[in-house]
Structures are given as structure tokens and as C-alpha cells.
Amino acid sequence: MAEEKLIIPILASLDEPLGADKDSVITALAAKIAASGRADENKLVSDLLAREAKSATGMPGGIAIPHCRSQAVNTSVLAFARLKEPITFGAPDGPADLIFMIAAAEGQGQEHLQLLKKLAQKLVDKNFLAALRSVDSTEKAAQIIREAVSPAAPPVPTPAPVEKQKAAPRVTPEKAAPTSHAPLKPAKLRRKDQKTADEQDEYLVAVTSCPTGIAHTYMAADALLNKGKELGIPVHVEAQGSGHLEPLDPALIAGAAGAIFAHDISVQDPERFAQLPLVDVGVKAAINDPEKLIQEAIAKAKAPQATSASAVEPAKKAKISSWGGLIPKAVMAGVSYMIPFVAAGGLLIALGFLLGGYDVADPAQDISLNFSLWKLPDAGPFGEGKILTNRSGLPLYLGALLVFLGQTGMSLLVPALSGYISYGLAGRPGIAPGFIGGAISSIVGAGFIGGIVTGILAGIIANWLSTLKSPRWLAGMMPVVIIPLITTLLMGLLMLLLLGRPLAALMSGLQNLLNSLAGSSAILLGIAIGLMMCFDLGGPVNKAAYLVASAGLSQATDGAYEFMAAAMLSGMVPPLAMALSATLRPKLYSPAEQQSGKAAWLLGLSFITEGAIPFAATNPLRVIPSMMAGGAVTGALAMALGVGCRAPHGGIFVLFAYSNIFGALIALLAGVAVGAATVTFAKMNRKKPVAAKA
């Protein structure tokens, strides 16, 4: 059976010395998984440490759940360790002695995911944890875990009461459609002295989600579920994790007293809960103190303004109070959704230039629409500008096709940025107004600055409109017709009547500034770009610099190309510098860091700055300043040497898109050398160097 393959005795460790820190424990457990033939050790360690660097995996109660989804894993697997000396994994209540390592395989079916979810649910069961703390053999430990995740295991009480409650005359929690979180049927989880569903006056609905969607999502869900059972307040949870999602029944949501969002990523379709008092927190808050969240939600539901006549007010207040946090997250989400448009469009244009030459840009549409494989173009002239090209025939035609496709993709860059910013703030009702606003921004010349503004405006307006109470006969049309219509009208008028021209002037000024920079001013700009790209290794500051660089490519100016080159080359420095330092002086790094260093070579060459995160997570005060020094050198040299890049991504693999390949290599190598030397020197002079372990 699949659950028997999830953990076997050799994957369990009882009171063995696995190391003095969490990296060592993670490395040791990953080695056990690799020894069982289920994964490649080096890549698995790298992926686990990269996930650990994003957020701590320590949980209250002495538990840690290091986990990742990785291409290094061929069969989803779990390793377990009971530590004699607890190790700190970042939990608020202290170190952990029970370590559950979940390694999920990319692309495997839902069966393994369901097993992993069941384990996450058991981590809030005190009897389950007590059994593992007292077990005396690895065989018994593996058996306890297998039994806990067995699909045949009943979800607590018997199903007898369910049949009785299904006959209830009105819509109740028991009659609602099952959710993606299997044990979330309160009828199965009520106490003998608890009211039945028909007698129950209040219940709550909740959504939980985390970036990985395996462990924290379901632990938070079960913490809310179990605490609700204990308090006599049913909580129905929609766990938005990996795999198939079964949303909460709309009738169940409509009858709830309030809602809880415990999430680290955006909630899917949040407008479904717009009429409910809302408690909005991170996913770990639900794991650490579910009772506080339930009591807060009930308190909001019982507040005077939470009557049936004005039930939207608490939710509205909760949203407004978090604008300062929502807007930056929405902008980052917009940038993330925009990057595929930039990558696809920019790389297609770069490939088109490789085939058809740089002078194919202007006549690309003319050639693509008026010629074919059976009617190949000559060297021109093309269009009203009578443009001549250096190439002709099949290379020119294929190059024009690729450039035309890329230009089409790049033309959607600003609308996508605006649309997904608006989506991050208002959900689906904000998508259309955001895209339309981005298109307006492109037409009036406001560029990506206008796209950010229109996305925020559309999101705020659509969000506000979604909180307004509407008649029942109109409610169904609100998110589909009314909200997009009114939002587009208001946002469009604001852009065309008030904001469009000033934003266009600002964008034009920025372009002129980039094109006019030369000498010392260009070098200073390159230093600033390098510092930003290396400051947070793929975080908001890095993304802000990359957004300006990649969005500028659509302007097709020399200044924009040089900005892009400085950003891409600087972003390659951190992983390459850390890989070089770990290769030359391995004794300064832990075994886990040495493994990360091997993976960082390819990540750096591919322009994936996040490859340096495992190093920065363990020693940020030495690593980050060193990387910023290397990035500043690369950015300054790239600008000083006039290096330009027409591709938005690809790192060393798009050298053909650089206007000064020799200068690009000099700038990159110099920055990597400075970064590696600086971080090596910093590590050599710390008080207690880390000795390499076998």
C-alpha cells in the first residue's frame, strides 16, 4: 500500500546524535532518505534548506516539520527523528525533539499528498506525540506513523449521528458539501453534551494556506477544528493546500457567524466571505493560539455593528486596517505574475534578434503579416519608414516571427502587472478593471508606473464596492458585472482626466534620465542597482529593481538595455560568489552549506539570486554585506563599460543578447571575486569557525 511506502524503519531515528543545529539534522535525515533510494541527496538538501530559509518550520509543542516539494524526490517520503537533545527550529516556545521531514515528489498523484496531509493533521494529537516520545524501536515508530496516516483510520467518533443529521430540514454544517479537508464535518466531532447542528446557533468558517501547501495549511486547519470542538463552536475549514481543492459550500458560508483567514499567501476567491466579520492573520497564528482567533471571531460577530442589517462593517474595517500590508503584497504578486510575460516576450525578442539581426525590430510586424515560408522577404525596404535590414530570406522571416511574438507578449506586460495587483487586492472582480487600467497606462505613455497606480486604484475601488450590501436579487451580478463596470469607469476616468498625463511625464522623465546618464552618474546608478539586487536576495527590494529594469525593455532604448544588463549581472553575483567561496574554503562552511554551494553554481549562472538564501539565512550579517559589495562592483562596471542586454532573464545562457559580451564577463567575474573574497574573509575572522563534517 502507498502509506506503507511513506516511512519504513530505516527512515526513523531514535535518540541518535544527528548534529548540533537544524542544518545538520536536516542533512542527516535527507541522507537517510537518499540511502533508501527515494531521492538525490545533494539536491534534496539544497531544496530543504532553501525552504527552511523562507520561514521557520518549528511548531509549538516541541515539533519541527522541515519539508519541501522537490524534483530530487522520486517517491514522496517521510523521515522521523526523536532527538535526545532538542534543537531550535524557530518555534516560539523553544527547541524541538520530534522532527518530521516531509519530502514530496513533483508531479505525483493525489494519493501521496493525502497521506502527507493526514500526517500534518495528526501533529496536533497529543496521544500520537506521546506515543512517539515513548516508543522504543524504529519499527514501532514507523508503524505508529503509518497507522496515523492510513486511509482506513477513522476520523474520530462513529458516523452514526451523521445519518440522523442529514435528515435535518434546513441547511446546516452537516449538510454542506465536504471540503478539501476531510475531517471538517462537525457532526462527527461534537461532544455528547454539545448541541446538535439544528440546535447550534453559531459556527465559523475558515481558510488556511501556506506557501508549500502541505504541512502548515493542514496543521492550522486541524488546530482550529479541534479547538472549536473543545469550545463547542464548530469551525469549518477550507484548506487551500496542495492538490485538489473542494471549496466550502456557499450556503455554509452564508450562515456562518464569522470567518477566519489564517494564510501566508493570498486567499482564493475572498469575496465569498465579504459579508462576514473577518479575522485575518498568518497561518502560524492559527497553530499557536487557535482559541484566541475563535474568540475574536465570535466577539466580532456579537458586536453591535455585526447585526444582520450591517454585517459587512467588521469585515470592511478588517480590510481597511490592513491596507498598509495588503498593497505591498499585491504589488509583489503583480510582479510575480508579470515575470512570465517578461520572460517569454523578452527571450523571444532576443532569439529573434539572433536570427534576424537587431534591425528586424521595427519591420517585424510587417514581415510577419505580409510574408510566408513560400514568400520569403528580401532585405527591404519595409513600411512607411522604408527600413532596410542586413539579413534577408528565411533567417529574416523567422527572426521577424519571433520578434513579433515577443513584442506581443511584452505589450501585455503593463496590463498584466496592473491586473494582478488589482486581483491581489480585490480578487476576481478586480482583474478586468486592472487589465483595462494597465492598457490605458500603456496607451497614454505612463508605462509600468501607471500600471502600478491603476492596479492599486482598481483594487481599492473594487474591494470597497465588494463590501457594500446589495439586494439579494443583485448580489449574483455584483462580482461579475456591476463591480467590474463601476470600477473600470471610475479608475478609467481618474487616469484619463487627472493622472494619465502626470504619470506619462514622470515616465518620460525617467527614460530621459536613463538615456542621459554617462560617466560618473552612470556608475553611481550601477552601484545603486547592484546594491538593490543583492540586498534581500530575491525579496521586495530585489524585485523592485528588477521590475524597473525588465519593464524598461519595452521602451527599446540604450539606457533601458544598460539598466537591464546591470540588474541581471548583479543578480547573478550572490549565488556564484557563495559557490566560489564554499568551493575554495569548504572548512568555513557546514556540510549543508557545502551542498548548497554546489547547487548555487547553476542557480547563479541562470540568474536565480535566491540561490544564496541558504547561506544568508545562517549568517546574514556576514553574507549580505559581502554580496552587496560584489553586486555594487558588477553594477558599476557594467554601466562604465556600456554593457547592454536585450533579454530580461537567462543569465549566462543569453550572452548573445548582450551588446558587449566581453564587458559583461569582466563585470560579472569582478563582482563574484569581490563577493567571494569578502565573505571568505568575514568568515575567517569570526570567533568560532564552522568545521567541516564528514
Q: How far apart are CA 540 and CA 536, in angstroms?
A: 7
Report the distance separating Cα 153 and Cα 161, nearest Å. 18
Q: Which residues pair with residue 82 across a beta bridge?
A: 14, 98
Q: Report yes or no: 630 and 678 within 8 Å, Cβ to Cβ.
A: yes
User: Helices 558-584 & 520-535, crossing angle to 10 degrees?
Assistant: 50
What is the residue-wise DSSP string for 262-315? EESSPPSSGGGGTTS-EEEE-HHHHHH-HHHHHHHHHHHHHSGGGSTTSTHHHH
- Give the Å distances, CA to CA, from 563 to 588, 635, 647: 35, 9, 11
Give the burial class of 171: count Cβ atoms within 10 A of its Cβ; 0-12 exposed, 13-18 middle, 19 or more buried.
middle
Cite the DSSP H helix spans in 357-479.
Answer: 364-370, 393-411, 413-426, 431-444, 447-466, 472-475
DSSP label at 144? H
- Name the DSSP class of 379: S
Among residues 53, 67, 29, the alpha carbon closest in space to that of 613 is found at 53
C-alpha to C-alpha distance for 342 and 348, rounded to whole angstroms: 10
d(Cα 670, Cα 341) in Å, to the nearest integer? 31
Q: Out of 68, 210, 534, 645, which one is annotated catalytic?
A: 210
Label the pairing between strands 63-64 and 58-59. Answer: antiparallel
Closest CA to 543 of 282, 301, 337, 292: 337
Known catalytic membership, residue 645: no
Distance CA 55, CA 61 (A): 18
**What is the residue-wise DSSP string for 185-227?**
-GGGG--TTSPPTTT----EEEEEE-SSSSSHHHHHHHHHHHH
| Beta strands 96-105; 77-87: pairing state | antiparallel
DSSP β-bridge partners for residue 102? 67, 78
Report in angstroms the alpha-carbon separations of 119 from 136, 464, 591: 21, 40, 29
**Contact call for residues 470 and 478 (beta carbons, < 8 A):** yes
Name the burial class of residue 58, with classes exposed (0-12), middle (13-18) and buried (19+) by CB atoms within 10 angstroms of its CB: buried
Q: How far is CA 138 from the centre of its chain?
A: 36
Closest CA to 552 of 520, 570, 576, 529: 529
Q: Name the residue with cell 461579475.
A: 480
C-beta separation of 604 from 651 below 8 A: yes
Q: Residues 592, 24: contact at Cβ < 8 Å?
A: yes
Instruction: Quote the DSSP letter at residue 480.
Output: I
Q: How far is CA 536 from CA 369, 605, 622, in A?
A: 45, 18, 13
Q: What residues contact residue 337 under an 8 Å CB cut-off, 6+ apart?
A: 416, 417, 419, 420
Q: What residues are paired with 281 via a beta bridge? A: 262
The residues annotated with a catalytic role in the active site are: 210
